[in-house]
A and B are shown apart, each in its own frame.
Chain A
Amino acid sequence: MVIAFGLLRFIPGDPVQLLLGDSATPELVETYRQNLGLTGSLPEQFINYTRNILRGDLGKSLQTGATVNSILARSLPVTLWLIVVTVVMALIFSLPLAVLAAVYRHTWFGHSFRIVSSVLLATPVFYSGLLLLLFFALQLKIAPVAGYSPKFPDNLRYLWLPALTLCGVMVPVLARVLQSSIIETLEQEFVESAIVRGLATIPFTWRYLLRPSLAPTISLLGYMIGQLLSAAVVVELVFNLPGIGTSLIVEGVLLRDYPVVQGIVLVFGLIVVLVSFLADVVSGWLDPRTRVS
């Protein structure tokens, strides 16, 4: 919140003058100033800003006059869907990959896992996204090029390719961390005893290998979702998804619409706080050792 507040005050010079140019009348400047909450001293401004946010009022767009809330109501669900689909897909890819890469770490599989994940990490999402778009949407024509539909099962058709792109940065990090914690778990005595007892593969993998190894990955996942939001902004623009990333750039930054930028940045901050809280809860459920007594 403080960051969102600070943004406008960072600007060297007067943001209102910057917006309106030199020819603005004093009355117009005053109206804008009031709109942006730039009247009064700095602490006063901050208290006003906080009060408005607590009331759920994020201000109005300078360009269209629409409330920031209405922009968010339209675009936030798209981004949340994208994040959820990405996380689910990333887990589906990472879990088996990490187990295989841990068990077969000294074979060709382990080595190629390392190389491929390094390459993926160094590939920017807007590039991999465009390549996937070129391949799946334009060549194979099995995915739509752009657009979105807000209904549930229908929207997956538009989301799977952007989510796959985001997996390109999520899966390598998740799988690597999970792999190294599985390797640690593999050396524990209870794993050996399970092997000696001859447990079936699937219950063995879940109860003895994955569950004790997941906690660090889940806390990392919490942090990564924060960084995933950055990538999501870019990917939304690549695939023309009408999420908050697109709103931030198209309606906020490119039009110099400060309240929109402020509001969206604030929402990003809230998501980060919420997600890291959730991650703590989930890792406590998976691994009782991390619970705060």
Chain B
Amino acid sequence: MNPATTFWQNFNNEARWGLAILLVILLLGVLVPMLSPYNPLVGTNNTFVAPGAVHFFGTDQLGRDVFTRTFAAAQLDIVLATIGVAIPLLIGTLLGGILGTTRSPFVSGLWLIVIDAINAFPFLVIVIGIVSMVGSGVFGLIVGLAAVNWARYAKIARARALQLRDADFIHATQVLGYSRVQVLLRHILPNVYSETLAYGLADFVIVIIAIAGLSFLGVGVHPPEAEWGAMISDGRAFLLRAWWITVFPGLILSLTAIGVALLAQGLLRRIRGEE
């Protein structure tokens, strides 16, 4: 059997659907901006053309092709969300691992308060707060997300590391006289990151919606850049006249989120062993 089929068979139905949706969107995200005859950023005189054979998703108030823009945005949003998940994932896992293995109740307790405080706070509100201070745009967005999101990973990683700390094989490393750093890097973290990684996929949905939401509010990616939230916000003023400017980017954003959510659900079910 070839490896591709085995790979496919390793997934359950939910994960398969999710992966299929994602692959289609990713493929279109790469191909459409490359092959499209329209420039996603430069306006033309053909404003407010209804969806049809020439412009699949119609054109917007500046005469730009919504189809091209939607899939150009797919690239940007998916890349941004991946960074927005990866940085907190790394920081959170490392910090959680350290906190879970430290023997000082003071350090651990103090950090736990910080982590719980950040987690209890309305996610978007605190990101908005940070972005407003750091400055909006792609950089502010990533800083804001990273500064808030790591806490949820740290919480998961800490809980897992606490369980591991009393496992026999960790006791064995102490008997063998390994240093703490060595134990942390070679034995604790490899067992922690599978959990935070699984959560990362579910978190991807939250992050990609947050990125679009912040851009929608005007504190994220700025026009004329093609970004789903910014496009939806653009179309707001013309909702009755040209519904397609708003509806199509949102549709693809929702589909992406559904795809990732399905994949995450399917994989999680598999990890837990329920089929």
Contact = CB atoms under 8 A, between A and B. Distances in A.
Interface residues of B, number: 43
Contact of A234 (B216, B243, B257, B261): B216
Contact of B216 (A3, A126, A230, A252): A126
B213 interface: yes
A12, A230, A258, A261: most-surrounded residue (chain B CB, <10 A):
A230
Given A3-B118, A7-B129, A10-B133, A233 B232 contact: no
Interface string A128-158: 0011011000100000000000000000000
Interface residues of A, number: 48
Interface in B226-262: 229, 232-233, 236, 239-240, 243, 246-247, 250, 253-254, 257-258, 261-262
Interface string A98-132: 00000000000000000000110111111100110
B120 A248 contact: no
Contacts of B121: 3, 226, 268-269, 272
Interface string A267-288: 0110010001000000000000
A133 B243 CA distance: 11
Interface in B97-147: 117-118, 120-126, 128-134, 136, 147
Given A122-B258, A134-B243, A227-B123, A10 B128 contact: no
Nearest to B132: A253
A134 B216 contact: no
A130 B147 contact: no
B212 interface: yes
A179 to B, nearest CB: 16
A253 B232 contact: no
B67 to A, nearest CB: 18
A256 interface: yes
Contacts of B125: 229-230, 233, 248, 265, 268
B164 interface: no
B232 A248 contact: no
B218 A127 contact: no
Given A249-B128, A253-B128, A124 B261 contact: no
B205 interface: yes
A15 B229 contact: no
B217 A249 contact: yes
B118, B128, B261: most-surrounded residue (chain A CB, <10 A):
B128
Contacts of A256: 132
B201 interface: no
Contacts of A238: 236
Interface in B253-275: 253-254, 257-258, 261-262, 265
A151 B205 CA distance: 38
Contacts of A202: none
A124 B213 contact: yes
A54 interface: no
B8 to A, nearest CB: 22
Interface string B179-220: 000000000000000000000000001000100110011110
B132 A252 contact: yes
Contact of B134 (A10, A118, A268, A272): A10
Nearest to A122: B257
A47 interface: no
Given A124-B254, A126-B213, A10 B130 contact: yes
A10, A11, A126, A233: most-surrounded residue (chain B CB, <10 A):
A126
B140 to A, nearest CB: 11
17 contacts: A3-B118, A3-B126, A10-B130, A119-B254, A123-B257, A124-B229, A126-B212, A126-B229, A229-B125, A233-B125, A234-B124, A249-B218, A252-B132, A253-B132, A253-B219, A254-B218, A272-B121
Interface of A: 2-4, 7-8, 10-12, 15, 118-119, 121-127, 130-131, 133-134, 138, 223, 226-231, 233-234, 237-238, 248-249, 252-254, 256, 258, 261-262, 265, 268-269, 272, 276
Given A233-B125, A261-B133, 12 more contacts: A4-B129, A118-B258, A118-B261, A124-B209, A124-B213, A126-B213, A126-B229, A130-B239, A138-B239, A248-B125, A253-B132, A265-B129
What are the 5 A-B residue pairs with the smallest beta carbon separation, nearest first?
A230-B124, A122-B257, A127-B250, A253-B132, A229-B122
